[in-house]
Structure 1
């Protein structure tokens, strides 16, 4: 496939949104596409599924550093501005994944609020690539706290996922959030493969630091480009467990929300979503589907570029992460359309750049290339390898008995629900439980279908960041996933 097709797809995902929250921040998408089409990239930047690299590679033992006393040093006494009556332990700090380069990944860990010694361990990853799992995942979505509008204080998240699990939020790769490298060239060398290996190295060392979790059931969850991170890391865990004598991680399942999984079905899903949600005219839709071969598209394809430009103008300035919600700079009150405040990123950024907060988190800010930010554009622009599909990895995980869940908020225009459905259909997995509505709080929370070794769930009224838009419904999905049961029917 031509590499330029990927950027046309990225444009379609973000039609007309110049104020997105996490992603292509403050860049006009059409201008962005034109720039990306003209940029030279290495031949390996986009590749078909690399079976040798991700499936049969012999993994060597990772370097395990001494961890004595590190857990105690990482314990957070209290976060500035946190609400009273916090009844769970919090930790944060660094795990060095490459001592020669000085590459260290930052984590934030919250124990389960009740019975933490018997609850499973979960790793949460946000995507981008290059966006913070701490800022987005912990402080905007599923963590125990949310940042108030003052950017200085925190409030309880009633629907925090640490009700059901002990959760690690990992900022990865180095250069994202508080994670860093002493070798600055590392920031231009990140990619799918290195991220999987660094995350695995992090986990092995983290479990040495917190040995009580070594035998605990382990799950990985995340969203967006974590649709790559998660299956690739899961596969690395299984391969390393088979090929080394180091810690065997008790991986039981993975869950991916509004995830980028497969290139071809993502293009098809995005175009169909925009048309069926009245964000694209019939003429443009039929023009795109009749005239554009997205697997061959290049910057000289003037017909398709003209149609995409027309789609940009026709869609207008919508917020692609939730097509029915206002953007942060909207004059509307956020709660008039959505319960989620689209300016939350601004509050989080202010909070995490307060020196007192950084000290409480044990953040090594002197080693960072810049103040804390939600996403690293440098990491994103210099990403070295993107697999066009991870479906073969997912198939292998299914064959190994790993629990696979894919869930989608149904108002997300960045990676729409149609992308997930088309990718799952491509797997050709038999249906065990037919499509049905599931319920919570006496309302339809979404829809679910159980496949052989795979579950697909929609979350009604949720945008890209599902736990932000529909926290109660998202918690039901997470609890069901952890417990290995389908969401509750009527």
Structure 2
């Protein structure tokens, strides 16, 4: 009887959700997912939104929309953006907080098996995954020149996408809308949020019900982010007291862009000690593809947050991966450059699933002959970094009343929490809640400090760069509480 009642409840919820999404574009509904057996836990839609390209042609941005499993007519809609720049938001869908957990197939060459994710963020919100900028993931253009972009063009294109998307799905215009992302989305999120706010101020239609944003392990400021690595390494026991004291003596607390040869030599000792670690999570092993060993073993490499820049052609002075003491990106061998694997990351499941033509057909994505092969981080985007610090963006947004949750996995070496904690404190807002622990499942899951202007800094104990991948239960906990405006 209980099983029958549950089945009827699920069926009723799905029917109501279908009714609620009555204005969705024809052909966007996903009816089945290759690799998954059973009924989808909520309604899924996907497809392309086309934008006018520059200088010519069109851009086709791919989205995958997961309706909330709780109350899609009222729950928040959260846009999710992975970073890079140039990395697909299917990283978040497959490995972090999407509706499914992916497992290897039973036989060699078979599709991955999909099972329901008990900690999906779609439990409490609708999620809109977007491959942005154009050329990333399943997004593509009919003009290769449109793969050249930068911080401002990406924000402009994503805002244009949102305006078109809400016209396609007007039934969600009244839902609270949030923007979220991780890593280089520390640039994407506040620049896009600023464009959305400017559109609201100017009366741009449709009027988006924007409420705030979340950034996970996101870059924010060249100085704060890069200067945090030495204190992080010492605090985590990755370097000796002798090395740390030598850095303090010769660098005087300024570890980024060393001003003296003695400081540079000591900083090199730090990076030598860190060279074999997984930069995304210092507790996890570094997954080795044979063709990327040379990338992972480069000695003296200043791993900043974005090893992905090995695989995306990027110009601009900020946060670049470089050998210490001289400018320029680390040179790669032909063999390493041809694979486009992100160092230490195993992307096999996502690559196998999203390059299967039956999967692409089911989710309304263009075939590989049109959109190209899916890669976790694109090799065709030419990206220009244009914003040196995002702190003024955060100040402007929070001062206007928009909510902001800045969260960090505390074992991430790419964007150390020490830098994120420092820049949020530097904004000068009044502390509303002093540093304290927060709980998940009656255990300490991390620490937070809350400020005036609806700004909260939160860290997650034992998590790496991709927080929901490492701590799914705890992530859903703080995410749902924050969205519901409950105490974390």
Q: Same fold (TM over 0.5)?
A: yes
CA 288–106 in structure 1, closer or farther in 2 if over 3 Å, else same: farther
CA contact (8 A) 1:80 1:356 kept: yes
Residues 146 and 466 (structure 1), Cα distance of their counterparts in 2 relative to 1, 3 Å cut: same
Counterpart position of 2:338: none
Q: Which residue of 2 aligns with 1:199?
A: 158
Pairwise CA RMSD: 2.2
Gaps of at least 5 residues in structure 2 are 1-21, 106-110, 290-343
Q: 1:73 to 1:289 in 2, by over 3 A?
A: farther
Q: Residue 164 of structure 1: CA displacement?
A: 0.7
Alignment of 1:441-460 (within 5 A): 441-453=441-453, 454-460=455-461
8 Å CA contact 1:411–1:462 kept in 2: the answer is: yes
What's the counterpart of residue 304 of structure 2?
A: none
Q: Distance between the aligned counterparts of 2:345 and 2:433, measured in 1?
A: 39
Q: List per-residue Cα deviations over 1:229-287 (Å, max 9, x = no partner).
A: 11111110111111244211111011111110111111121221012212223444344
Distance 1:282 1:86, change over 3 A: same
1:240-255 equivalences in 2 (<5 Å): 240-255=199-214
Secondary structure of 1:74 counterpart: coil
Q: SS at 2:195's partner residue? A: helix
Distance 1:296 1:439, change over 3 A: closer
Report the TM-score when normalising by structure 2: 0.78
Match of 1:390 in 2: 390
Distance 1:368 1:477, change over 3 A: farther
Task: Confirm or deny that 1:469 pairs with 2:470.
Answer: yes
Q: Does 1:239 align with 2:198?
A: yes
- Aligned 1:255-404 pairs, distance under 5 A: 255-291=214-250, 306-329=265-288, 345-366=347-368, 368=370, 370-379=372-381, 382-404=382-404
d(CA) in 2 for partners of 1:425 and 1:71?
45
Contact residue 178 and residue 368 of structure 1 kept, 8 A: no
Does the 8 Å CA contact 2:99/2:117 hold for their aligned counterparts? yes
> What is the Cα deviation at residue 369 of structure 1?
6.3
1:78-227 → structure 2 map (5 Å cutoff) = 78-98=32-52, 100-134=56-90, 136-150=91-105, 151-187=111-147, 189-227=148-186
In structure 1, the residue matched to 2:188 is 229
- Over residues 299-333 of structure 1, what are the superposed CA-to-partner deviations in whole Å (9 max), with x where a residue is unaligned? xx765554444333322411111101122249xxx
C-alpha distance in structure 1 between counterparts of 2:135 and 2:103, whole Å: 26
Which position in structure 2 is the counterpart of 1:62? none
The SS at the match of 2:415 is coil
Q: Distance in 2 between matches of 1:343 and 1:147?
A: 15
SS of the residue corresponding to residue 190 of structure 1 reads strand
After TM superposition, give the deviation of residue 386 of structure 1 in Å.
3.2
Q: CA–CA distance in 1 between the matches of 2:157 and 2:59?
A: 9
> Once the two structures are superposed, what CA deviation does each residue of 1:376-414 show, in whole Å capped at 9, x if it has no partner?
2443xx321331111111111111100011111111111
The CA distance in 1 between the partners of 2:256 and 2:459, in whole Å, is: 28
CA distance 1:289–1:102, shift in 2 (3 Å): farther
Q: Is the 1:320–1:413 contact (alpha carbons within 8 Å) kept by the matching residues of 2?
A: yes
Given that 1:257 and 1:406 are in contact with CA atoms closer than 8 Å, whether structure 2 keeps it comes out as yes
SS in 2 for 1:73: coil
Query: What is the rounded CA distance, in whole Å, between the counterparts of 1:310 and 1:432 in structure 2?
Result: 40
Shift in CA distance, 281/404, structure 1 to aligned 2, threshold 3 Å: same
Alignment partner, residue 15 of structure 2: none
Segments of 5+ residues of structure 1 without an aligned counterpart are 1-67, 331-341
Distance 1:245 1:352, change over 3 A: closer
C-alpha distance in structure 1 between counterparts of 2:273 and 2:345, whole Å: 25
Specify whether residues 97 and 287 from structure 1 end up closer, same or farther in structure 2 by C-alpha distance, changes over 3 A only: farther
Q: How far is 1:288 from its partner?
A: 4.2
Q: Are residues 443 and 253 of structure 1, via their aligned partners in 2, closer, same or farther at CA, if it must alter by over 3 Å?
A: same
Deviation at 1:344, TM superposition (A): 5.1
Q: Separation in 2 of the partners of 1:152 and 1:212? A: 34
* Higher RCO by CA contacts (8 Å cutoff, separation 6 or greater): 1
